[in-house]
Amino acid sequence: MATPPECVDIVPNSLTNVTQVIVGSDPFGVAVDTGAHEVFVTNTGSNNVTVLNDTTDAAVASVPVGTAPLGIAYDAATNELYVADSGSAMVSVISVAKLGVVANITVGRAPTGVAVDAAAGRVFVANNGSDNVSVLNASSHTVVASLPAGDGPVGVSVADPSGLAFVSNEASGNVTVINASRAVVVTTIPIVGPGIQPQGMAFDAASNQIWIGAGYFYAIVLNVSSLSVGGYVATDPSGVAYDSDTGKVCGTNTGNMSLFCVTTSFAPANLTFAETGLPAGTAWTVDLANGLASSDSSSVVFGVVPDVYSPAGSVSASYGVTTPAPYVPTPAGGTARFSASEESVVVNVTFVPMTGYSAVTFVASGLPAGDGWGVTLNGSVQTTETSTVRFYERNATALPFQITPPSGDRATPSNGTVSVAGSPVSVPISFSPRPAPTYPLTFVAVGLPPDTTWYLTLNGTLRDLNASTGSFRVVNGSYPYTVLAAGPYLPRPSSGTAVLAGSGVTVSIQFAKGGSSVYPVDFTETGLPTATLWGIEIGAGLFSTTAGSLPVLLANGTYTYTAVAAAGFTSTPGQGGVTVAGGPQTVDLLFTPSSPGPAPLGVVLHQKVVSTQCRAGGGVTWTVALAAQGSGGVAPYVYRWTLPTGNASGPLVTTTVTVPAPSATAGVDAGSAIVRVTVVDSTGRSAINQTTLLTGPVPVCPISTSPPGHGRVTGMGLGPARGRGGGRGRLQRRGVPVRPAAG
């Protein structure tokens, strides 16, 4: 597997004694010519391909290519290599015999993945920047077709002998399927799951499956025969490859910089759409947000990857149901949800003849992203997270409807009636945040002469009042206030806090003569954006404004003030003194942007039991994968673990919990162990967190244990893939197809 910055790791089948070989700068893609015992590595940073001898594990040549080479594939039929030069929008063709470039083929923007179908004489190139696939003729080195893909295609894999090519679309979370010989798109396979980002791909010829590194702790398995999701593995690969000698699929775990190899996967959950009402053999389609499936039977099934790392989380899929037949589905669309523990969800769809029915569509605007809403029309209920809800109704007048808005929002209209008269009807629904109720907060001045101006600071804002009563509409909450002297009249109380809790509040202020005259001190700011809130603390009060000047009335004397800077700004001066001596004063303040400090350092733990093994002679061993996610502070982070099996480091680790035979009673909770992780940021600050490993009940073990490796997955990595950023368009991860010599 390729490892930045200047070497590759050569890993034998024993997964031990890793050899590192120096290559070019920032190696990325790998291809193998098993007949010549040569390995070819693209070097993204040095714009060349390094040739290695796999017997001596040494570099023997270097071939210059285009800019930022990524994917590479070997064509055994022509003895040539195809290199995707992402920075120059072309494919370099290298003759292995001559070790030189023999052709440059212009393709789409930011080509990333490459795969060869030797039987069809075709080469497929995923263009990440232009969302399409270039199909090349391997003999003439020309582009014979340009096919649409999903958003951000990354990896390509050819499934021999099916004649199909598969393209992983990272940004849209689906897979495009292409007929290789005809160069046409066959279908798009949606992958429903949390954070799915399909990247590198490999074809497992023994099981007729495509393995995909899909990010967010998952590798996805596609069944080539059924063109559907057939399984998943809880790990975090970006690049994957199939080893025909061992029958294993191996992948690179980006998060913890490790290699895993497996032969089996977990079965997915099933999202089943079951229809009634259509004549036998009638075709119908379920369209998810990132792909669709059609059937002429009574059900359509999608494989779903559950959110196994967030037990309280859920996976949702928006859908629409259609048929070319003159029938109307109910529901015509909506959102299906899976909890982490659900293995099956069924959506029942009823079709009725279209004769006499018309579409009634409710169209939402102002809907917050991801929020669900619902409509009840004439007693029928539908809910969705999309912007439309559609019913089909016979001709009728004044059908009642009721809108169920998202929590905290209000719908306009919230209810009403709709009439159907032989044609489609559209009902616009507008959503907006539901305002909090307001109540009167009233201040009454007693004892002042008529038309006397008095000053009230309410919740940090200075207000001047010319009447004996000042009233304000506010929501529930606490509102601190300060009352200034009005000339020689002194207020009681001069400060306090008014608390509103579902009703209005009146505060009476008693003024009595006895104080001295007051004069304005005008604080004037420069440097803040228009309408930015800022303030002054002086005397016993806090005053604020969004204007450029802030007048404060003060009696004769000397005062100390402190400028209250707006968020992200620093005041000069920050504090100072002012003397009032029978007249007005002016104080100038300059606000300049300030550098934000780092957020508080923290760390979050995730855990998942990834295998359970019955031990020979009795007893059970659980393998638990652990992931730590640092936040705040100053990255990068260092993680140190204290585990039942000893100390470890890195963001992703595994540990085991073993219950010996005398304690391993089937159905009884096996107990727990404590794990602890410390995160240290680049400044040396640290934070700590710990959790309890819960293994769950002891399984019922057979008399003899399974063969080694059976029924468990090893080398599980857990961690977010690391993108390289600049110059790669939308490519965020290192996924490329890594194929054996056959391409």
The angle at the Cα of 144, spanning 139 to 145, to the nearest 5 degrees, equals 145
Domain identity same for 609 and 579? no
Domain final residue pick, 433, 455, 487 = 433
Residue type at 494 in one-letter notation: S
Domain identity same for 660 and 680? yes
Eight-class DSSP state of 256: T
Q: How far is CA 611 from the centre of its chain?
A: 27
Domain identity same for 323 and 447? no
User: What is the rounded distance in angstroms from the CA atom of residue 486 to the CA atom of residue 479?
Assistant: 22
Domain identity same for 247 and 119? yes
User: What is the rounded distance in angstroms from the CA atom of residue 461 to the CA atom of residue 366?
Assistant: 32
- Inside any domain, residue 730: no
Task: Please report where in the chains the tokens 């809108």 appear, as a residue.
Answer: 403
Domain identity same for 480 and 428? no
Domain identity same for 571 and 615? no
Task: Look at strands 269-276 and 284-288 and give their pairing.
Answer: unpaired
- Inside any domain, residue 50: yes
- Inside any domain, residue 14: yes
Task: Please report where in the chains the tokens 């290298």 appear, as a residue.
Answer: 94
Eight-class DSSP state of 437: P
Residue type at 163 in one-letter notation: G
User: How long is the chain?
Assistant: 743
- Inside any domain, residue 709: no
The number of folded domains in the chain is: 4
Domain identity same for 324 and 459? no
Asked if 464 and 548 count as a contact pair (C-beta separation under 8 A), the reply is no
CB-side neighbour CA atoms (13 Å) of 154: 33
388, with CB counted inside 10 A (0-12, 13-18, 19+), is: middle
- Inside any domain, residue 569: yes
Taking CA atoms, 456 is separated from 420, 448, 508, 531, in Å, by 59, 14, 12, 21
Domain identity same for 574 and 644? no
The angle at the Cα of 133, spanning 129 to 135, to the nearest 5 degrees, equals 140
Which pTM does this prediction carry?
A: 0.51
How confident is the model at residue 17, as a pLDDT?
55
Give the CATH number for residue 194: 2.130.10.10
Residue 413: closest CA among 464, 364, 357, 471: 364
User: What is the rounded distance in angstroms from the CA atom of residue 553 to the CA atom of residue 443?
Assistant: 19
User: What is the rounded distance in angstroms from the CA atom of residue 218 to the CA atom of residue 507?
Assistant: 61
Domain identity same for 256 and 336? no
User: What is the rounded distance in angstroms from the CA atom of residue 192 to the CA atom of residue 303?
Assistant: 7
Task: Please report where in the chains the tokens 């913890």 appear, as a residue.
Answer: 256
* Phi, psi for 716 (deg, rounded to 5): -70, 125
User: What is the rounded distance in angstroms from the CA atom of residue 488 to the CA atom of residue 516?
Assistant: 4
Strands (E), 333-395: 333-339, 344-353, 357-365, 373-377, 380-384, 388-394
Query: What are 458's two structure tokens?
Result: 């309410």
Query: What are 201's two structure tokens?
Result: 């791909």
User: What is the rounded distance in angstroms from the CA atom of residue 512 to the CA atom of residue 503?
Assistant: 30
Asked if 80 and 95 count as a contact pair (C-beta separation under 8 A), the reply is yes
Give the CATH number for residue 410: 2.60.40.1120
Query: What are 556's two structure tokens?
Result: 């004769």
User: What is the rounded distance in angstroms from the CA atom of residue 388 to the CA atom of residue 46?
Assistant: 51
Asked if 320 and 359 count as a contact pair (C-beta separation under 8 A), the reply is no
Q: Where are the alpha helices (DSSP H) in 495-630?
A: none
Give the CATH number for residue 632: 2.60.40
- Inside any domain, residue 316: yes
Domain final residue pick, 563, 593, 623 = 593
Domain identity same for 227 and 347? no
Give the three-class secondary structure for 662.
helix
- The dihedral of CA 726, 727, 732, 738: what is its sign? negative
Strands (E), 366-460: 373-377, 380-384, 388-394, 396-404, 409-412, 415-420, 425-433, 439-446, 454-458
Task: Please report where in the chains the tokens 């109910």 appear, as a residue.
Answer: 330
Given a cut of 70, the residues of the chain with pLDDT beneath it are 1-5, 9, 11-18, 215-217, 234-265, 308-313, 370, 515-517, 540-542, 567, 596-597, 610, 616-618, 660-672, 695-743
Domain identity same for 224 and 149? yes
Domain span including residue 400: 311-433
- Report the helix count and the strand count for the chain, using DSSP H and E: 0, 65
* Phi, psi for 334 (deg, rounded to 5): 160, -160
Domain identity same for 586 and 628? no
Domain final residue pick, 407, 433, 459 = 433
User: What is the rounded distance in angstroms from the CA atom of residue 524 to the CA atom of residue 551?
Assistant: 8
- Inside any domain, residue 610: yes
Query: What are 586's two structure tokens?
Result: 């002016």
- The dihedral of CA 514, 520, 521, 524: what is its sign? positive
Peptide bond connecting 148 to the previous residue in cis, omega within 30 degrees of 0 = no
CB-side neighbour CA atoms (13 Å) of 128: 30
- Inside any domain, residue 71: yes
Residue type at 150 in one-letter notation: G
Q: How far is CA 505 from the centre of its chain?
A: 46
How confident is the model at residue 253, as a pLDDT?
57
Cα maximum dimension of the chain: 105
